[in-house]
Amino acid sequence: MLEDKNQQRTSLSQLGEFGLIDHLTKNFEVKQPSTLKSIGDDAAVLDFKDKKVVISTDLLIEGVHFDLAYMPLRHLGYKAVVVNLSDIAAMNAKPTQITVSIAVSNRFPLEALEELFDGITLASKAYNIDVIGGDTTSSQKGLIISITAVGEANESDIVYRNGAKQTDLLVVSGDLGSAYMGLQVLEREKQVFQVNPNNQPDLDNYTYLIERQLKPEARTDIRELLEKLEVKPTSMIDISDGLSSEIIHICKQSKVGCNLFEEKLPVDPQLINVCEEFNIDSTTVAINGGEDYELLFTIAIEDYDKIKANPNLTVIGHMTQESEGIHLITRANTKIPLKARGWNALEE
Ligand code: ADP
Ligand code: MG
């Protein structure tokens, strides 16, 4: 649907495995001082000196995690990197390297993989990270991508999910729900396109939402911002499955409760408009929509003055005693228990 119609189709079998790896990886440059040996040997070699190393990995499967009908391969490559960097950022660490493993069926020509790797290259430049290895193999059907991200941090700077205190404030970066509504718009346009392939989608009113879905960014800037503000979060998580599900993770691991305030939820004006058009409640979307890749964290109440004027950060609630439970306080001042309606990979 959104894919550009690339005319040239070079069969992967023409290159062979090693030719393909060489071709796809030839543009990766080493930027990080911690990368001693990158692609080309049996393993990469890294040296983090006195820093701690954090590692996170993600697996993306065509038809489960992405749909190539509306996900251009370049965006897919970019997003596959970003979702991993977001996990490193959620540890309050600095991402430094990734490995990229792919399995592809011969339905993909070389040109398609070039687009995927263009997106990966773009992200690795934007976030100043090195691609230090991976694996390339064939699949019976569809595309599978697995990225592993590595990051560094001083031990004392690392933030876990389990450090929130009863009196802490709950803070989120950016805005919520837009990536989910972007997906709804793209799904709708896909249906329209399937009925009439000549129908070119008019997406002008949805640009922000679609960008949030197709080209998310990892909030690697928040670590630097908080350092400047002299605030260390007591707990942190990135929002991949939806706000409510992430709040519940922090609460369970930290053994605290939480009051989340509906009126405080940061949403983009475009989200409000499109929710009206789709007849969906924007609060439900902000709370349950996934893939925002914003950071959710708790801070000591004494730090409130340091963050209150920052346009990147919104205080959306406060923690409580565990026995008080986890609730949304609505605009009408009713108290509703928060449920993890976030996306569940194992759901039927
Ligand atoms: P091995 O036989 O040890 O698995 P490969 O021939 O698969 O080695 O890989 C050769 C080199 O290319 C290695 O450094 C590996 O990490 C790298 N590499 C292979 N596939 C990819 C990929 N998709 N992205 C980045 N690097 C890759
Ligand atoms: Mg290999």
The first and second tokens of residue 346, run together, are: 């194992």
296 Cβ below 6 A of ligand 1 = no
Query: Are residue 94 and residue 204 in the same domain, yes or no?
Result: no
CATH code, domain with 315: 3.90.650.10
Same domain, 106 and 232: no
Ligand with minimal distance to 131 CA:
1
The answer, yes or no, to whether any atom of ligand 1 lies below 6 A from the CB of 133, is yes
Is 2 among the domain residues? no
Same domain, 190 and 86: no
Residue 141, domain member (yes or no): yes
Distance 132 CA to ligand 2 centre (A): 13
Out of 157, 186, 203, a domain closes at 157
User: What Å distances lie between residue 259 and 162, 226, 284, CA to CA?
Assistant: 17, 23, 16
CB 203 within 8 A of CB 210: yes
Number of compact structural domains in the chain: 2
Could you tell me if 188 and 136 lie in one domain? no
CATH classification of the domain holding 127: 3.30.1330.10
Q: Largest Cα–Cα distance of the chain, in whole Å?
A: 65
**Considering the entire predicted model, what is its pTM?**
0.94
Domain boundary among 157, 188, 219: 157
Q: Which residues contact 271 (CB under 8 A, 6 or more apart)?
A: 175, 177, 178, 181, 209, 282, 285, 286
For the CA of 17, the nearest atom of ligand 1: 6
Residue pLDDT tens, the chain, 348 long: 555 555 689 999 888 889 999 999 999 999 999 999 999 999 999 999 999 999 999 999 999 999 999 899 999 999 999 999 999 999 999 999 999 999 999 899 999 999 999 999 999 999 999 999 999 999 998 999 999 999 999 999 999 999 999 999 999 999 999 999 999 999 999 888 888 888 777 788 999 999 999 999 999 999 999 999 999 999 999 999 999 999 999 999 999 999 999 999 999 999 999 999 999 999 999 999 999 999 999 999 999 999 999 999 999 999 999 999 999 999 999 999 998 875 554 554
Asked if residue 173 and residue 320 are part of one domain, the reply reads yes
Ligand nearest to the CA of 21: 1
Residues 121 and 247 in one domain: no
User: Mutate which of 12, 25, 46, 84 to test ligand 1's pocket (most atoms within 8 Å of Cβ)?
Assistant: 25
How far apart are the CA of 136 and the centre of ligand 2, in A? 6
Whether residue 68 is found in the same domain as residue 173 = no
- Residue 10 near ligand 1, beta carbon < 6 Å: no
146 and 174 assigned to the same domain: no
24 and 146 in a single domain? The answer is yes
Judge residue 107's burial from the number of C-beta atoms within 10 Å of its C-beta, 0-12 exposed, 13-18 middle, 19 or more buried: exposed
**Minimum CA distance residue for ligand 1 atom 9:** 135
Tell me how far the alpha carbon of residue 49 lies from the centroid of ligand 1, in angstroms: 25
Same domain, 81 and 182: no
> Could you tell me if 323 and 182 lie in one domain?
yes
Residue 216 near residue 170 (C-beta atoms within 8 A): no
State which of 135, 137, 143 you would mutate to test the pocket of ligand 1, scoring each by most atoms of that ligand within 8 A of its C-beta.
Answer: 135
Decide: 135 in ligand 1 pocket, CB within 6 A: yes
258 located within any domain: yes
Q: How far apart are CA 270 and CA 264, in angstroms?
A: 17
Nearest ligand for residue 133 CA = 1
Q: Which residues contact 274 (CB under 8 A, 6 or more apart)?
A: 181, 184, 185, 205, 206, 209
Domain boundary at 131, 157, 183, which? 157
Strand, coil or helix: 228: helix
Question: How many CB atoms within 10 Å of residue 216?
Answer: 22
Residue 33 domain boundaries: 12-157
Alpha-carbon span 231 to 22, nearest angstrom = 44
Decide if 250 is inside a domain.
yes
